[in-house]
Structure 1
Amino acid sequence: MAYLAAAAVLIGLLVVTNLILTVGVVRRLREHTAELAALRNGDSGGSDVAMPAGSSVGGFDATSVAGLPVTLATLGDRPLVGFFSPHCQPCKERLPEFIEHATSRPGGRDAVLAVAVGAEEETAELVELLRPVATIVVEPDRGPVQQAFAVTGFPAFVLVEGGVVVASGFDLAPVTHRDTAALPAVG
C-alpha cells in the first residue's frame, strides 16, 4: 500500500510540473505571436536596422573597390545608401529593386553607395551586380561605414539629405518612395 501511495504522489508531482511547464510555453508562444504580428505590420518596435530619420550621419572614410576615397561629402547632397551581406536571403530578394531604383536616380552611381559586408571573395558577386549603378565599398562586419550609419542588420537602406537621414529601414519601398517624392524638388 505504501508503494501505491508513493507512486500516486510521484505521478501527481509530475503532472503539476508538466502543467507549470506547459503554461510557460503557452505564455512564450503568445509573446512570439505578438512580436511576429508587429513585424508583419512594419512595426520594428523602435529597433530598426539603421539610424532613424532625423539623425545626423557620423563621419567615415572608406575606399571604393575602384580605389577612390569615399566619404559622405563625396556622395553629393542626397545619397542613397544600401548595406548588403552575401549570406543574407532578404538582401538577395531586395537587390534587384535597389539596382532598378539606383539606375533611375539622378546623379548616377556617384550618388548611390552600396556597402558589401564580408570578405572580398564572398562579396565578389554582389560587387559585380552593383558596379554599374553604385559606388561600392567592401568592408568587414561592423566596419566604419556601418558604424557611421548605425547599421545593425541586413539589408539596410538609408536616404540622406544634407548629412541627415530622411528615410531608413529594412524595407526598400518606403525609402525609394521618399526618394522619388523628393526628386521633383531637387533641381
Structure 2
Amino acid sequence: MPYLVVSVALFGLLTAVNLLLTIGVVRRLREQTTELADLRSRAPLDPMGGGTSLPVGATVAPFEAATVDGRTVALASFGERPLIGFFSPSCTPCGERLPGFVRHAAGRPGGRDTVLAVVAGGGGDDGYVRDLDAVATVVVEPELGPVQKAFGVTGYPSFLLVRDGAIEVTDHDLAPVLERDTAVASAAG
C-alpha cells in the first residue's frame, strides 16, 4: 500500500510539472505570435515599394551580364520600360509566382526583348530557365550577382518596372507590378 501511495503522489507531481511546462510553452507561443504580428504590421504597405529592391525613383546602377544564350546585356538592352523579375529556385513564393510572370511576359508588347528574368543561385534551375527563356531574356547568376546588386535586390521574388533607368514600381508580390504595367500599356495604346 505505501508503494501505491508513493506512486500516485509521484504521478501527481509529474503531472503538475508537465502542466506548468505546457502553460509556459503556450505563453511563449502567444508572445511569439504577437511579435510576428507586430513585425508584419511594420512591413511596407505601399504597393509601389515592396522593400525587396531599390525604392521607387532610385536610379539603377549600370551592369552587364551574360544571358543563358551567351549574349551580353545591360539595362539599355531592354528598351525604355523593361519588366524585370528576380527568382531563386530555393524560394517557394518564386515558384508560385512564376506562372503569372510567364503569362504576363508572353503577352507583353515588345516580347522577350523587354523582359529580363534573373535566376539567382549559381547553377540555376532548368525548370525556371526553360519556363522563362520562352518569354524573357534570362540571366543566371550567383546570389548577390551583378544584376541583383544593380537593382539592390534583398529578397526573392522581386519584381520591378523600370522607366528611363529609374525604378517605377517594385514589389515582392507580382500583382501590383503587373497591374501598373497593364495600366501604362493600356494608356499608351
Scaled to the shorter chain, the TM-score interval is 0.7 to 0.9
Tell me the SS of whatever aligns to 2:125.
Answer: helix
Match of 1:89 among 89, 92, 101: 92
The amino acid that maps onto 2:80 is: D
The amino acid that maps onto 1:131 is: D
Is the Cα contact below 8 Å between 1:53 and 1:164 reproduced in 2? yes
Aligned to 1:5: none
Q: Deviations over 1:60-100 (max 9, x none)?
A: 11010111111001111110000000111000000000001
List gaps (5 residues or longer) in structure 2: 1-20
* CA 1:114–1:28: 2 relative to 1, 3 Å: same
Aligned to 1:99: 102
Q: Kindly report the root-mean-square deviation, in angstroms, between the aligned alpha carbons of the 2 structures.
A: 2.6
Tell me the SS of whatever aligns to 1:179.
Answer: helix
**What is the rounded CA distance, in whole Å, between the counterparts of 1:112 and 1:70 in structure 2?**
12
- Aligned positions of 1:64-75 closer than 5 A: 64-75=67-78
**What is the rounded CA distance, in whole Å, between the counterparts of 1:77 and 1:97 in structure 2?**
23
Tell me the SS of whatever aligns to 1:52.
Answer: coil
Q: Deviations over 1:160-184 (max 9, x none)?
A: 0100111001001111111111113
Match of 1:130 among 125, 129, 132: 132
Aligned to 1:31: 35
The amino acid that maps onto 2:94 is: C
**What is the rounded CA distance, in whole Å, between the counterparts of 1:177 and 1:31 in structure 2?**
32
1:54 matched to 2:57? The reply is: yes
- Aligned positions of 1:1-187 closer than 5 A: 28-37=32-41, 42=45, 48-120=51-123, 122-186=124-188
1:37 Cα offset (Å): 4.5
Tell me the SS of whatever aligns to 2:56.
Answer: coil
User: Identity of aligned pairs, percent?
Assistant: 47
Q: Deviations over 1:31-59 (max 9, x none)?
A: 222223455x9469x87111121111111
List gaps (5 residues or longer) in structure 1: 1-17
May I ask how many residue pairs the two structures share in their alignment? 167
Q: Deviations over 1:138-165 (max 9, x none)?
A: 0001000000000000000010010011
